[in-house]
Amino acid sequence: MENEQFNIPDYILYIILGLMIVATLTGIFSENLYQDNLFVQSAWYGTDLITFILAMPIFLISIILYKKKTLFGLLLVFAMLFYFMYNYAFYLFSAALNDMYLIYVAIFALSFYGILLLVRKIKIEEVKESYKESTPIKLIGGYMILVGVFLGVFHIGLSLSYVFTDQVPAIVTNVAHPTNVIAALDLSFVVPVALLGGISLIKKQAWGYSLAVVWNFKGFIYMTALSSASVVSYINGATQSLVELVIWVPIAIGCIIMSYISLKNIETID
């Protein structure tokens, strides 16, 4: 793969890493950072834990592999930037104003522009050609479509229920936020990428091969973060049920399996 494909300035990746260290450690150890209700504070804490102990080490490994000009590293950096942009959009647009606000702005913005720099240089045909002919694209693409449809129906259904009943969904009232930020971000970023990526992959279109790794790996990390958030909320007494784990955990497991299958079927990673 040509050097021109790997043109994100190294300092952008290191700045993101450094800012996340500050944001996550402050969130984990500062008792007065988050100004939200107990349910939301617990969710931030659980997410910070996974970002620090899982996402950041993977990001560091992906940077090392990326600097070695490997396809594996390229796709992992792409996936991690997608996770950081999506995850910190919640902190930026949903968390009550706190001392880390400008840090959230920086992480979100740098991740977004990092993705733009990366996308415009990826030679998607080369990525496609790196995959084995025997890659189970229908399995991977079908899984992405299934999860995308499930999340889309879930969020659209809640929104329509409000239209017809005037009853604000619990997903909004529980966080004491004026609108449904979760649905806004899922319907804007997660669902479209899942559907477009899954359909493209099944049709053997080039972008589907890249998005199969990016979407699934990001999904694994974020669903793990959601699971952590649910457990912390339960431990803190902010919720009396762990029923959400019935959804988050299977999706996380499915995403990491699909990521593994995708990466395993890359014939050339250099």
pLDDT of residue 177: 84
Structure tokens that stand for 118 in this block: 């990366």
Tell me, what's the pLDDT at 145? 98
Contact 124, 207 (CB under 8 A): yes
* pLDDT (0 to 100) of residue 11: 87
Within 10 Å of residue 171's Cβ, how many Cβ atoms?
Answer: 15
HSE, side-chain direction, 13 A CA sphere, residue 130: 24
- Separation CA 109–CA 113 (nearest Å): 6
pLDDT of res. 190 = 97
Q: What is the pTM of this model?
A: 0.93
Helix 191-202 with 206-235: angle, nearest 10 deg? 140
Alpha-carbon distance 229 to 252, whole Å?
14
Give the tokens for residue 107.
């992480």
pLDDT digit of tens for each residue in the chain (270 aa)?
A: 444 444 567 789 999 999 999 999 999 999 899 999 999 999 999 999 999 999 999 999 999 998 888 888 889 999 999 999 999 999 999 999 999 999 999 999 999 999 998 887 788 888 899 999 999 999 999 999 999 999 999 999 999 999 999 999 888 898 888 889 999 999 999 999 999 999 999 999 999 999 999 999 999 999 999 999 999 999 999 999 899 999 999 999 999 999 999 999 987 644
